[in-house]
Structure 1
Amino acid sequence: MDKAWVSAQGPGLPWTAGEYETLRDQVRRFVEEEIKPSADHWEQDGFVPRSILRRMGELGFFGIRYPTEYGGAEMDAVASVVFAEELGRSTYGGAADAILVHSDMASAYVFHDGSKAQRDRWMPGIVRGETITAVAITEPDAGSDMKAIRTRARRDGDSFVLNGTKLYITNGVHADLYCVAATTNASAGANGITMFLVEKGTPGFHVARELDKQGWRSSDTAELVFNDCRVPAENMLGAEGQGFYSMMRNLQNERLVLAAMALGTAEAALDATLAWVKARRAFGGALWDMQAIRHRLAMLSAKVEAAREFLYATAWRMAADDDCLREISMLKALCGELVNEVAYACVQFHGAMGVMRESPIERIARDARILSIAGGATEVMLDVIASLM
């Protein structure tokens, strides 16, 4: 983020350029010192260790947007974008995904929709990285079409009994607290969906299987099953029947940080490829000496920079509580597709090395693929944009 750009926003932005850049420096240093040296092992193990998540909590990374009463810093959407962009630049998409699901996606349901009692109980541990969260919405027959959720929650005295299956749930294996969407009134459509907090170990709730993915290898992903899972009524998250609207509201921040993660990944891919083509010798000179390669990388760099300006302008608007549905949908579609365009070209310019597991570009290309799907597929985003035109 350019400091001059931040200064140009004037008094509407509550944080100074220096404070955002301090956050960026802290995250970048953590990535270099704590993530990159060990992340290859996490890719093999299939999850980010608890010790790392607790360390991130100690450093304040999980409280960026949350109040000081819970140990947070009370920053804004611009800070979340800085955080996500730098995690994307790590080149380990799985680790970035696992972290961001907790920091900006699942925990947001607890904070924004939870009662004061729920927030007081859970938010301190969430911010400290001691209570890891997941959000369980997607099902075998309900992905982007969230109104098609079939998991049922039946009222029984002072409890709700949940039955159903959730699929492709990030942090699904190792989370402590799950924000689960279920239908409490099947005939009411979107108005019948309610969110619940379900703790790990609750009878009737179990991880059916850990899923094996093409990319994002270091984020654990699971299928969850609820079989007569009894949840106290006090664990209802927000008002009954308001779950769909809660999901739509929280998805805006999710899509914003995914766009930022995608841009950070594209930036890292371009940096690595620029270094490669300047060092790689072929036909009597460096690959960089070939005009076709220089021009392609220059155009991709221009596209990434343009998207980045759009990203930060939208983050600032979101921080100012503007309605950014159109812009965030554009960003999610644009950045998800752009990171794949960049990754494809970068693999090409690496030649055979681009498909070797020892190359960061190979991992970036695998991880980039899901960024046009997760959090809202490109086609869904384009439909949203078209509906607002």
Structure 2
Amino acid sequence: MQRTPQDGPADWSPLRALVRSDLVPLVDAIDQDGLYPEAALRRFGEVGLFARHVTGDPGAGGLRDAIAGMAAVGETCLSTAFAAWCQDACGWYLSNSANTALRDSLLPEVASGRQLGGTGLSNPMKAYAGIEPVRLTGERVSGGYVVTGALPWVSNLGDGHVFGAVFSVPGRTGNVMALLRCGQEGVSIAQRSHFCALEGTRTVTVMVKHAFVADGQILADPAEPFLATITPGFILLQAGMALGLIRGAVTAMREADAGQAAINAYLPERLELFEEALAGLEATIAELAATPYRNTPDHMRTLLEARLAAAEWSLRAANAAMLHAGARGYLRNATAQRRLREAYFVAIVTPSIKHLRKELSEIEQGRGSMRLWKAVPAS
């Protein structure tokens, strides 16, 4: 897919219209029944939600627009915004891969929402940080690799969906990253966990049992220089979830004030605080999105600090929305308590708050445990 300059900020009014018509009526079912909003996601793809950062120059507004579009979805439903992030991340892998045949055949499908996909990078990101081992192992054979292992939680998956996966190869330095497909021989999925929020994200366990991964499925070999390239954008894209959630929490506070303004005035954190914080976060994220491949330690420190701030402000805003709503926010289908549960996900999704703090500590000590941005020249 050829990259061209962006034409200016994306007009997300068609997306917002679809959110109102196709997503708002489903929010309770997504949250309480675990409904996966597949049809809505595909329609969002039709209006370009998954395309801006992969069809143009991402530094000329494409990544910023992808984040803004995700935020427009996250104002209403974080489950759907997270699924959108998974789709965006999958497109980000493909758009940056040197495997031109794989990129040219699949990227248009992913960018349009016709092909849905997930990320699969939670495990390797933790592995590079020394938190857990790489869970997939491959053996080189003629024409590809035979891969075995399991990934406990991969989201936005279903029959025929694709996802990125990193596997180690015993006896050699450097891992391999490939694009696997649910349902290909040796790759199966099962829902083995149920969550208090984000249940509608189709989060499954992936079992890989002697699966042949052809050379044509390889995104990068070795994986490390490629991971260094995509990591800043991968993390920045997550900001769309946080920005949308904070904006939605501010809206909930404003709605609560319509009937409880006099008593809510005594709360220590009011919506003006979060409007100001949101504006600052949006400006910082937009600035960082203009250099999506920059990976020096100083830049990564700023980026990780912004991602950490986005998670922490999400928690504060959702907590404040709950307090503004009062007893009404405690009802099973209340927006306020749903937003609070969703905010905890922003805090724990990889990289989680504790993971981010670990990375920042390592950078301050001159080490940088993730090490990914050190594998390629700084831009």
**TM (normalized to structure 2)?**
0.84
Q: Alignment partner of 1:293: what SS?
A: coil
| Equivalent of 1:219 in 201, 215, 240 | 201
Q: Structure 1 residue 163: deviation in Å?
A: 0.7
Contact 1:94 1:216 in 2 (8 A): yes
1:371 maps to amino acid: V
| Equivalent of 2:292 in 302, 318, 323 | 318
Q: Compute the RMSD of aligned alpha carbons.
A: 2.8
C-alpha distance in structure 2 between counterparts of 1:373 and 1:381, whole Å: 10
C-alpha distance in structure 1 between counterparts of 2:256 and 2:210, whole Å: 56
* Equivalent position of 1:126 in the other structure: 110
Q: Alignment partner of 2:208: what SS?
A: strand
Q: Alignment partner of 2:12: what SS?
A: helix
* Equivalent position of 1:5 in the other structure: none
Q: Structure 1 residue 47: deviation in Å?
A: 4.4
Q: Alignment partner of 1:61: what SS?
A: coil
* Equivalent position of 1:266 in the other structure: 246
Contact 2:78 2:198 in 1 (8 A): yes
2:196 maps to amino acid: Q
* Equivalent position of 2:39 in the other structure: 51
Range with greater deviation from structure 2 (30-39 or 326-335): 30-39
Change (3 A) 1:125 1:301: closer
Structure 1: gaps (5+ residues): 1-13
Contact 1:256 1:328 in 2 (8 A): yes
* Equivalent position of 1:209 in the other structure: 191
C-alpha distance in structure 1 between counterparts of 2:271 and 2:113, whole Å: 39
Q: Tell me the alpha carbon deviations over residues 354-387 of structure 1, each in whole angstroms, 9 at most, x when there is no partner.
A: 2212211111111110111213112222333344
- What are the equivalent positions in structure 2 for 1:23-34 lying under 5 Å apart? 23-34=11-22
* Equivalent position of 2:283 in the other structure: 309
- What are the equivalent positions in structure 2 for 1:205-354 lying under 5 Å apart? 205-238=187-220, 240-241=221-222, 243-280=223-260, 286-288=262-264, 290=265, 292-293=266-267, 296-318=270-292, 324-354=299-329
C-alpha distance in structure 1 between counterparts of 2:244 and 2:191, whole Å: 31
- What are the equivalent positions in structure 2 for 1:39-188 lying under 5 Å apart? 39-67=27-55, 76-90=62-76, 92-102=77-87, 104-139=88-123, 142=126, 145=130, 148-174=133-159, 176-185=161-170, 188=173
Q: Structure 1 residue 140: deviation in Å?
A: 11
1:338 maps to amino acid: W
C-alpha distance in structure 2 between counterparts of 1:231 and 1:159, whole Å: 6
* Equivalent position of 1:4 in the other structure: none
Contact 2:155 2:202 in 1 (8 A): yes
Contact 1:273 1:350 in 2 (8 A): yes
C-alpha distance in structure 2 between counterparts of 1:140 and 1:75, whole Å: 28
How high is the sequence identity, in percent, across the aligned residues?
A: 18
Q: Structure 1 residue 45: deviation in Å?
A: 4.7
Q: Structure 1 residue 150: deviation in Å?
A: 3.1
Q: Tell me the alpha carbon deviations over residues 47-71 of structure 1, each in whole angstroms, 9 at most, x when there is no partner.
A: 4343323322222222112237xxx
* Equivalent position of 1:10 in the other structure: none
C-alpha distance in structure 2 between counterparts of 1:280 and 1:183, whole Å: 57
* Equivalent position of 1:7 in the other structure: none
Q: Tell me the alpha carbon deviations over residues 128-162 of structure 1, each in whole angstroms, 9 at most, x when there is no partner.
A: 21211112234599566477203101012223111
Range with greater deviation from structure 2 (201-210 or 298-307): 298-307
Range with greater deviation from structure 2 (354-363 or 39-48): 39-48
C-alpha distance in structure 2 between counterparts of 1:313 and 1:181, whole Å: 30
Q: Tell me the alpha carbon deviations over residues 280-338 of structure 1, each in whole angstroms, 9 at most, x when there is no partner.
A: 37xxxx324x3x2275433333333322222222223438x685422220111111011
Contact 1:153 1:160 in 2 (8 A): yes
1:178 maps to amino acid: F
C-alpha distance in structure 2 between counterparts of 1:137 and 1:295, whole Å: 36
Change (3 A) 1:300 1:332: same
Q: Structure 1 residue 203: deviation in Å?
A: 1.5
Structure 2: gaps (5+ residues): 365-379
1:383 aligns with 2:321: no
Larger Rg: 1
Q: Alignment partner of 1:65: what SS?
A: helix
Contact 1:54 1:130 in 2 (8 A): yes
Aligned residues: 355
Q: Alignment partner of 1:218: what SS?
A: helix
C-alpha distance in structure 2 between counterparts of 1:94 and 1:50, whole Å: 12
1:86 maps to amino acid: A
Q: Structure 1 residue 187: deviation in Å?
A: 5.6
2:314 maps to amino acid: V
Contact 1:278 1:287 in 2 (8 A): no
Q: Structure 1 residue 388: deviation in Å?
A: 4.0
Range with greater deviation from structure 2 (323-332 or 358-367): 323-332
Range with greater deviation from structure 2 (137-146 or 125-134): 137-146
C-alpha distance in structure 2 between counterparts of 1:44 and 1:108, whole Å: 31
Contact 1:23 1:83 in 2 (8 A): no
C-alpha distance in structure 2 between counterparts of 1:298 and 1:50, whole Å: 35
